[in-house]
Each structure stands twice: as C-alpha cells, then as structure tokens.
Amino acid sequence: MKKFDLELLSELRTRAEASPRRRAHHNVHDDYQQPVQRLFVCMLPDSYVRPHRHSQPHKWEFFMVVDGCLELLFFDDHGVLTERVALGPGSDCLGVEIPPNTWHATVCNQPVTFVEVKQGPYEVTDDKDFADWAPAEGDDAVAAFLASMKILRPGNVLS
C-alpha cells in the first residue's frame, strides 16, 4: 500500500520553491510505461504552464486539487479563452477530467498541490502539442503572458 501524507505535500512545496520551473511532482506510478500515470504536483504562482493539448484520441487528463486553488483555462485553436474553471476549496468544483485534443493551461495565485491522472504510457516525444500562439518556457515574453493568463476572461484572446 502507498500512503500520501502532509509530509509529502510539504516536501513537494520545498522542491517547487527550489525548482527553476517553480513546480515539482511526485510520481505514484512506478514507470512511464504503465497504462495510467498518477502524480502529485505542487505549483507556485510564478510557474508557467504553456497552453497545450494531448492530441492522441485516448489521452484524457484528470485533475483534483488537494491543497490550495488552481484555475484551469480552456482555449480554442486561436488562443481565445473559452472557459475558466477554479478547482479547490471555496469553489464549487474540486476536480475535472479534460478530454483529448483540448487546449488547456493551469494558473494559480497561491501555492497549490493537485493530483493528476492521465492515460499512459508517457512518451516525451508525443505527450503534448504546445500552442504556437503561446511563448515557449524560458522565452522573455513568458512573464507578461502568464500575467495575461491570470486575468483573461472568456471570449478574449491572449496577447
């Protein structure tokens, strides 16, 4: 049996604070070839998750917040925000399953830890398609783009 406690959440937060990407994960699955990938992720407010989609027809993704609050942003093919969903205490939603081929990204305004479950196996070369209308990690435009994502409202496009 595997147990997941508050010490794990604390360790993840410490690792996220030390990470250049400002997030850290703890895999529950034993290897990337397993048919279901399960992990805990701690993300800090300055962590940039580039909008992306999982275009393989069987690659869904599930999120459930265990500490803090996370916002999932959903986009159309042109970068127009179609929906914002807040997950966590204080919202009316704790989790969501994202269907395949759906453009999405995550943002937070406070540290958050969530459980992510997705169809495996994980293959780095075709795990996700990144939006060409969003800057790549490390690009000089990331800070301004992340700030825009945090305030963007449905019907508006990112710039």
In order along its 159 residues, the chain shows pLDDT tens digits of 888 999 999 999 999 999 999 999 999 998 888 889 999 999 999 999 999 999 888 889 999 999 999 999 999 999 999 999 999 888 999 899 999 999 999 999 999 999 999 988 877 666 789 999 999 999 999 999 999 999 999 999 876
Domains recognised in the chain with CATH numbers: 6-122+139-151 (2.60.120.10)
pTM, to two decimals: 0.92
Question: For residue 124, what pLDDT is reported?
Answer: 66
What is the per-residue pLDDT across 55-93, written as a single tens digit (0 to 9) for each?
888 889 999 999 999 999 999 999 999 999 999 888 999
Long-range contacts of 92-99 (CB under 8 A, 24+ apart): 94/64, 94/65, 95/62, 95/63, 95/64, 95/65, 96/62, 96/63, 96/72, 97/60, 97/61, 97/62, 97/63, 98/54, 98/60, 98/61, 98/62, 98/63, 98/72, 98/74, 99/60
Question: For residue 21, what pLDDT is reported?
Answer: 96
